[in-house]
Amino acid sequence: KGLGLGGIVIIVAIGLLTGQDPMQILGQLTGQGTEQSAPPSAQTRQAPPANDQQAEFVRSILGDTEDTWRAVFAQNGREYKDPTLVLFSGQVNSACGRATSATGPFYCPADQQVYLDLDFFREMSQRFSAAGDFAQAYVIAHEVGHHVQTLLGISAKVDKARQAGQKMEGSNGLLVRQELQADCFAGVWAYNAQNRLNWLEPGDIEEALNAANAIGDDRLQQQGSGRVVPDSFTHGTSAQRVRWFKTGFAQGQINQCDTFAAKSL
């Protein structure tokens, strides 16, 4: 039996008590080292305390996405470049502009950094009823999925299409297809991580699917305004997000994640 997500939480706690880097402990147990990404200067964000257990959990998951995507890229004759993780509270400046906690987690292709406000995870639990370690892991893996899109040149093609005036928003828009592909890539990570570590516990996948279902455009619009406006969609419906995560998790192959060619999302 491999290391479960609950085990990662315990390792993080041990590391905080002993002063040892939890990433080093995890690397020793799995036989692999994980590289911790460096944050930007302190002037651009308010970082959580160094002993923040939630922050260490995020770094542990990010480290595993790096291991997974290095292997997947190598299988396809490519080299994976790790993204940089930025943990912030309140607001942050990125190469894509200034963002606040209301923005939620995001990836900026201009600086290849993943930005996470840890308060979002508490909001997932309280507002969206999407609690659980693996629900949080899904969110991290989704943002890393956007980094994968950048490395594969997909983000640049979407940006070029935007400049050419192609439809971006809406139920069939390019933004929805881009977001659903990131969901699929999150599923690819989960499949490969499970094969390598056998770490998923009963209920983990259900947590991810519940999170995907809770933050679909239709669900959020219904909660916010009481009505659903498909023409304004940017992330896809709850059902679509669940479907594409499951597509990636089914076989763990990135070629199964071509949402841009899919006739039906």
74-99 average pLDDT score: 92
What's this model's pTM, rounded to 2 decimal places? 0.75
- 121 in a domain, yes or no? yes
Q: Are 90 and 46 in contact (CB under 8 A)?
A: yes
pLDDT digits (tens, 9 = 90+) for 35-47: 333 344 333 445 5
Contacts of 100 (CB under 8 A, 6+ apart): 90, 91, 92
Look up the domain containing 69 and give its range: 5-256
Contacts of 231 (CB under 8 A, 6+ apart): 169, 170, 171
Task: Decide if pLDDT at 62 tops 90.
Answer: yes
Contacts of 262 (CB under 8 A, 6+ apart): 177
What pLDDT score does 51 carry?
A: 56
Structure tokens at 207: 């947590």
Total domain count, the chain? 1
185-200 average pLDDT score: 92
- 261 in a domain, yes or no? no
Q: Are 116 and 143 in contact (CB under 8 A)?
A: yes
Q: Mean pLDDT lowest for which of 52-56, 153-157, 210-214, 217-221?
A: 217-221
pLDDT digits (tens, 9 = 90+) for 121-151: 777 666 555 457 888 888 899 999 999 999 9
- 104 in a domain, yes or no? yes
- 262 in a domain, yes or no? no
